[in-house]
């Protein structure tokens, strides 16, 4: 038979006699009491005696108090767990011969009431007679209480006639139901039908009751109505040999073995020799008090069934009851002595096993007792260290692998760094990666192991297995780096591609293998965002070796193959901008120019149109195609600062001849043509602002002496004086005059003052320019731009000019002035005559009478009759034709009122100073404007004798009409 190992995992705590109060029956001798029943719970141990007394004991079996629930023996009792209630069955006074003396009582231990002056007892909340007419009296052999939802109790009472009386309900309120379960009906032999054990099994809503007799094991399904019975086995056991495990398995003990039962029948059985006097279950251990038939001795064994060992074994006296409280096992003997046995802590048990080198037992122990993972790993580590010290490296590594996740990997790795143990180390590192606990260093070490072993098959299996790629298995970057260093480029590329690390894949292709075409194909297969990122990083190398193909990929990325049907502003803003890729062309401006030209041919409404045009202008206008500002951009400098600080290439060793070669000149001329075309096309006539930076364009044109571009920009900006300054600086007289003819015509919106600047230029030139001066004077004379005196003063500064240049101009001006003077004198004479005539008329009106001789009404042309009205303007009217207006001549009143309105307007205008000065500034002859204001009396005369400045208020005009 299998020999069980014995260990001392339990120890005796303390032992003592159960202290009971002395009886007071009037005798001198105290009668020795017998313990009939025991129970435990809620930190108490309860004993019932044959005289009806119940005693309570605290920790250490110290007596607490006692009371007498029954007048005679206490047969059964149970301490409830959910509520502090005690349920007892005992004998009381028999009221009638027909009624049984046995009754069931429920005590509330939280409520104490005084019995006498010296003693107290718990409050009895319910008393129930067990046997009635419907439930005949029989001997009680077992008793069990199940606490359902408080205050509902389910009490099962087993009898010696094979019946089970069940009482369910709230006993305190006497709301109960009774029913009977019949196990066997063997009246001939009650010893075979007596109920020797009961056990409840609660599984969700289902409730089952195990019932054991000496000859059977039955199961009642109490959730069925009526309860359904099934027989699980045809063997049984005696009293005290029944227990329930923590998994609600029924355990019965027979002389040959211990049997376990589930609701579907018999389960495992364990063969232990000897009669099972008592059976119990404690924390996963099977407890047995076994009587040796040969020697008559009793042995108390604690069995660990999972690990097949005896955790404790001791010779004991005859045991009457077995309890579990305070984390201990309490054995109460027939002589009232008690033995408390407690389990040792896990550390003590493991130390015991380690001293005996029983590591496998220790491992099984921590696993079955559900110790934490860290404790299990510590046991495995010690076992591994033991095997390592015995040079059993394979088995040691097997134990170390089980500690992964709890034991620091470096502890194991340093033990197996020897080259002779590289296979074990490789195995450990593989398991470490499988569980996703490997660091970068572990990945490096494993890959180095593969490369040292030259195990390409394992390396490929590790790298290329379907479930080994990703951050959960190993560090991708570390794997790539190690494979590259060992020249396993194929494996490194596989990892990079599988993990989506496109930058590493391209780095290997470009830097290690030089496969530029394959790199471009790979970039083409990526998504737009990924392709853009990779080109930004490796574009310099690609542009250097494969410029045409790289530009094609960039165009496709930035334009989506030129899909102009979707080329709206929103869509274009989602695509990469060409500006994002400028840095990759730092050393290849010609390729950049090709790229931007192709892009602008496909897209003309890009959100980055201004930046693109700025870059193209710099490429087109620069005399040297070296794109100086790109270095500033790449270094984080300011873009415009980069332009203004242009770096000139060093010309030495014959490079001057190269730059001045015809090929260079032709290229520069071609680029300048493109630059001028871009300047014009990017600034349409209908727009106010161009699609490039004007300040940058001006700087570029000035730096590179690009006259055509500079003239166009100045003219578009209406900076006409800067335009003619360019011609003056270039000494281009013909172009200067032609420009002034185009830009100095006021009819077409030009600035006539340009001719004055041109005249000043020729006056200060210091050389003979008679032809040009005569032509300029023609336009000055035509538009009357300058007075002759200013012309004379300006041209007098040039010593190379003679009087003959302006002789004809002066003669014409004098003749014209003479005619104007004569015309003004004639006008003066005419105004004087009109004024004299008006004064005479006024005097006549004031001093002489008027004779009205009109015979017809001016209004109706009928014969004038009385009443009639005659006005001083010699108009006559019928009174009826005038209506309500008798003071004004209807014929002359409109003219008079218009004159008054004009006067009021002129007086109002005299207060508007801004309008006056605006007219003076905008007029060719400001003096004539001032003279007009004086002539119309708008500028008021000051009072005589006013020497202290202008008078306050508005001066009234003394002018008349």
- Residue 471: its pLDDT value, please? 47
Residue holding tokens 């109505």? 225
Q: Print the domain residue range for 771.
A: 744-834
Residues 826 and 869 in one domain: no
Instruction: Give the Cα-Cα-Cα angle 11, 12, 17 (nearest 5 degrees).
Output: 170
Give the CA count within 13 Å in the CB-facing half-sphere of 216.
18
How distant, in Å, are the alpha carbons of 103, 136, 725, 768, 799 from that of 802? 156, 161, 25, 9, 8
- Residue 250: its pLDDT value, please? 94
Residues 761 and 830 in one domain: yes
Residues 808 and 752 in one domain: yes
Contact criterion met (CB below 8 Å) for 47 and 37? yes
In a domain, 248, yes or no: no
Indicate the pTM of the whole model.
0.51
Report residue 623 as tokens.
């005399």
366-417, pLDDT tens digit by residue? 877 767 778 888 888 888 888 888 888 888 888 888 888 888 888 888 888 8
Residue holding tokens 């180390």? 425
Pick from 326, 246, 257: which is nearest to 288 by CA?
257
Select from 344, 365, 388 the last residue of a domain.
344
User: Residue 610: which H helix or E strand, with range?
Assistant: helix 609-621
Q: What are the residues whose beta carbons fall under 8 Å from the beta carbon of 678, sequence distance 6 or more? A: 613, 616, 617, 620, 692
In a domain, 146, yes or no: no
- Counting the structural domains of the chain, the total is 3
b/e sequence 492-524, b meaning 16+ C-beta within 10 Å: bbbbbebbebbebbbbbbbeeeeebeebbebbe
For residue 289, the cross-strand partners are 278, 300
- Residue 936: its pLDDT value, please? 66
- Residue 565: its pLDDT value, please? 42
Residues 762 and 804 in one domain: yes
Select from 344, 375, 400 the last residue of a domain.
344
How distant, in Å, are the alpha carbons of 187, 302, 350 from that of 354? 59, 21, 6
In a domain, 759, yes or no: yes
Please enumerate, as own/partner, the contacts of 249-257 that have beta carbons within 8 Å and a separation of 24 or more.
250/199, 250/201, 250/210, 250/212, 250/217, 251/279, 251/281, 251/286, 252/197, 252/212, 252/217, 252/279, 253/279, 253/288
Q: Specify the CATH number for the domain of residue 884.
A: 3.30.40
- DSSP symbol at 65: E
DSSP states along 299-330: EEEEEETTTTEEEEEEEE--EEEEEEETTEEE
Between CA 381 and CA 393 the distance in angstroms is 13
- Three-class HEC string of 558-603: HHCCCCHHHCCHHHHHHCCCHHHHHHHHCCCHHHHHHHHHHHHHHC
Residues 830 and 887 in one domain: no
In a domain, 172, yes or no: no
Is the peptide bond prior to 106 cis by the omega test (within 30 degrees of 0)? no
Could you give phi then psi for residue 877, rounded to 5 degrees?
-145, 150
- Residue 718: its pLDDT value, please? 82
Instruction: Give the Cα-Cα-Cα angle 94, 100, 102 (nearest 5 degrees).
Output: 90
- Residue 959: its pLDDT value, please? 31
In a domain, 296, yes or no: yes
Q: Specify the CATH number for the domain of residue 21.
A: 2.40.10.480
CA dihedral angle for residue 34, residue 35, residue 37, residue 39, rounded to 10 degrees: 160
**% residues pLDDT > 90 (the chain):** 16
Residues 826 and 755 in one domain: yes
Residue holding tokens 């392709």? 531
Task: Pick out the chain residues at pLDDT < 50.
Answer: 1, 16-30, 468-472, 562-567, 628-660, 942-961
- Residue 151: its pLDDT value, please? 83
- Residue 146: its pLDDT value, please? 93
In a domain, 885, yes or no: yes
Instruction: Give the Cα-Cα-Cα angle 502, 504, 508 (nearest 5 degrees).
Output: 120
For residue 209, the cross-strand partners are 200, 220
In a domain, 123, yes or no: no
Residue holding tokens 């029954």? 70
- Residue 572: its pLDDT value, please? 58
CA dihedral angle for residue 824, residue 828, residue 830, residue 831, rounded to 10 degrees: 130
Residues 760 and 819 in one domain: yes
CA dihedral angle for residue 754, residue 757, residue 762, residue 763, rounded to 10 degrees: 140
| Dihedral of alpha carbons 686, 687, 688, 694, sign | negative
Contact criterion met (CB below 8 Å) for 88 and 48? yes
How distant, in Å, are the alpha carbons of 159, 861, 864, 875, 893 from that of 852? 162, 16, 11, 8, 19
**How many residues does the structure list for the chain?**
961
- Three-class HEC string of 480-523: HHHHHHCCCHHHHHHHHHHCCCHHHHHHHHHHHHCCHHHHHHHH
Select from 298, 319, 344 the last residue of a domain.
344
For residue 304, the cross-strand partners are 309
How distant, in Å, are the alpha carbons of 447, 607, 690 from that of 611? 48, 9, 12
In a domain, 539, yes or no: no
How many other C-beta atoms can be found within 10 angstroms of the C-beta atom of residue 454?
10
Between CA 549 and CA 59 the distance in angstroms is 90
Could you give phi then psi for residue 77, rounded to 5 degrees?
-155, 155
Contact criterion met (CB below 8 Å) for 23 and 51? yes
Between CA 37 and CA 74 the distance in angstroms is 7
How many other C-beta atoms can be found within 10 angstroms of the C-beta atom of residue 407?
19
């Amino acid at each position: 038979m299998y020999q069980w190992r014995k260990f001392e995992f339990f120890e005796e705590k303390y032992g003592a006699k159960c202290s009971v109060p002395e009886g007071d029956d009037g005798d001198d001798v105290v009668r020795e009491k017998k313990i009939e029943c025991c129970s435990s719970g809620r930190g108490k141990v309860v004993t019932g005696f044959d005289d009806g007394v119940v005693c309570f004991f605290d920790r250490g079996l110290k007596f607490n108090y006692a009371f007498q629930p029954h007048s005679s023996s206490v047969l059964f009792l149970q301490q409830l767990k959910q509520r502090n209630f005690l349920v007892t069955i005992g004998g009381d006074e028999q009221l009638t011969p027909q009624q049984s003396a046995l009754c069931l009582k429920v005590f509330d231990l939280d409520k104490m009431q005084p019995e006498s002056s010296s003693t107290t007892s718990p409050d009895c909340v319910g008393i129930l007679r067990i046997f009635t007419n419907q439930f005949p009296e029989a001997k009680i052999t077992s008793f069990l209480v199940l606490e359902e939802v408080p205050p509902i109790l389910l009490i099962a009472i087993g009898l010696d006639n094979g019946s089970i009386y069940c009482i369910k309900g709230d006993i305190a309120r006497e709301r109960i139901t009774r029913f009977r379960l019949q196990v066997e009906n063997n009246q001939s032999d009650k010893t075979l039908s007596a109920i020797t054990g009961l056990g409840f099994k609660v599984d969700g809503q289902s409730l089952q009751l195990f019932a054991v007799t000496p000859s059977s094991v039955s199961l009642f399904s109490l959730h069925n109505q009526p309860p359904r019975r099934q027989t699980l086995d045809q063997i049984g056991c005696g009293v005290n040999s029944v227990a329930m495990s923590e998994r609600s398995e029924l355990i019965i003990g027979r002389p040959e073995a211990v049997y376990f039962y589930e609701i579907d029948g018999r389960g495992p059985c364990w063969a232990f020799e000897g009669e099972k006097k008592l059976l119990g279950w404690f924390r996963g251990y099977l407890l047995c008090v076994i009587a040796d038939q040969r020697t008559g001795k009793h042995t108390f064994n604690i069995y660990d069934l999972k690990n097949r060992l005896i955790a404790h074994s001791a010779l004991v006296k005859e045991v009457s009851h077995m309890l579990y409280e305070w984390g201990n096992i309490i054995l109460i003997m027939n002589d009232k002595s008690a033995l408390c046995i407690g389990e040792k802590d896990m550390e003590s048990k493991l130390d015991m096993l380690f001293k005996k080198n029983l590591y496998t037992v220790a491992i099984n122990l921590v696993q079955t007792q559900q110790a934490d993972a860290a404790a299990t790993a510590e046991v495995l580590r010690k076992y591994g260290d033991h095997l390592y010290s015995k040079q059993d490296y394979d088995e040691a590594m097997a134990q170390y692998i089980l500690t992964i996740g709890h034991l620091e990997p470096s502890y194991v790795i340093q033990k197996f760094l020897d080259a002779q143990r590289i296979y074990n180390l490789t195995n450990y590192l593989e398991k470490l990666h499988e569980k996703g606990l490997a660091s970068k260093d572990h990945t490096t070490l494993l890959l180095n192991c593969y490369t040292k072993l030259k195990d390409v098959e394992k390396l490929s299996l590790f790298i290329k297995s379907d479930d080994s790629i990703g951050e959960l298995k190993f560090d991708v970057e570390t794997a790539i780096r190690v494979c590259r260093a060992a020249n396993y480029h194929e494996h490194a590329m596989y990892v990079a591609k599988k993990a989506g690390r496109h930058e590493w894949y391209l780095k290997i292709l470009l830097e290690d293998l030089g496969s530029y075409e394959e790199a471009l194909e790979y970039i083409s297969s990526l998504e737009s965002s990924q392709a853009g990122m990779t080109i930004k990083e490796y574009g310099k190398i690609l542009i250097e070796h494969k410029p045409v193909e790289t530009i094609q990929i960039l165009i496709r990325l930035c334009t989506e193959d030129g899909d102009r049907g979707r080329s709206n502003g929103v869509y274009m803003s989602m695509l990469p901008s060409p500006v994002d890729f400028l840095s990759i062309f730092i050393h290849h401006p010609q390729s950049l120019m090709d790229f931007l030209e192709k892009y602008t041919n496909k897209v003309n409404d890009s959100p980055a149109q201004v930046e693109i045009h700025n870059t193209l202008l710099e490429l087109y206008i620069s005399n040297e195609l070296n794109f100086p500002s790109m270095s500033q951009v790449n270094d984080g400098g300011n873009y415009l600062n980069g332009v203004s600080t242009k770096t000139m290439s060093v010309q030495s060793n014959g490079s001057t001849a190269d730059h001045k070669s015809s090929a260079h000149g032709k290229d520069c001329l071609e680029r300048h043509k493109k630059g001028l075309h871009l300047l014009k096309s990017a600034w349409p006539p209908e727009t106010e602002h161009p699609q490039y930076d004007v300040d940058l364009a001006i700087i570029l044109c000035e730096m590179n002496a690009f006259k055509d571009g500079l003239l166009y920009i100045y003219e578009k900006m209406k900076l006409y004086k800067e335009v003619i300054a360019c011609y003056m600086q270039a000494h281009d007289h013909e172009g200067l005059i032609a420009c002034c003819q185009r830009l100095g015509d006021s009819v077409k919106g030009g600035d006539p003052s340009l001719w004055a600047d041109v005249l000043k230029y020729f006056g200060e030139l210091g050389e003979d320019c008679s032809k040009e001066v005569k032509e300029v004077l023609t336009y000055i004379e035509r538009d009357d731009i300058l007075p002759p005196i200013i012309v004379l003063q300006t041209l007098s500064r040039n010593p190379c000019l003679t009087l003959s240049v302006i002789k004809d101009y002066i003669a014409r001006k004098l003749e014209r002035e003479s005619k104007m003077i004569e015309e003004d004198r004639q006008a003066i004479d005419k105004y004087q005559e009109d004024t004299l005539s008006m004064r005479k008329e006024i005097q006549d009106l004031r001093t002489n009478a008027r004779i009205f001789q009109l015979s017809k009404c001016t209004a109706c042309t009928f014969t004038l009759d009385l009443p009639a009205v005659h006005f001083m303007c010699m108009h006559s009217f019928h009174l009826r034709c005038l209506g309500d207006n008798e003071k004004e001549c209807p014929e002359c009143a409109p003219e008079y009122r218009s004159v008054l309105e004009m006067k009021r307007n002129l007086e109002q205008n005299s207060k508007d100073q801004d309008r006056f000065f605006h007219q003076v500034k905008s007029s060719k002859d400001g003096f004539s404007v001032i003279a007009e204001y004086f002539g119309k009396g708008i500028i008021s005369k000051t009072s005589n004798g006013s020497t202290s400045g202008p008078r306050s208020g508005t001066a009234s005009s003394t002018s008349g009409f």
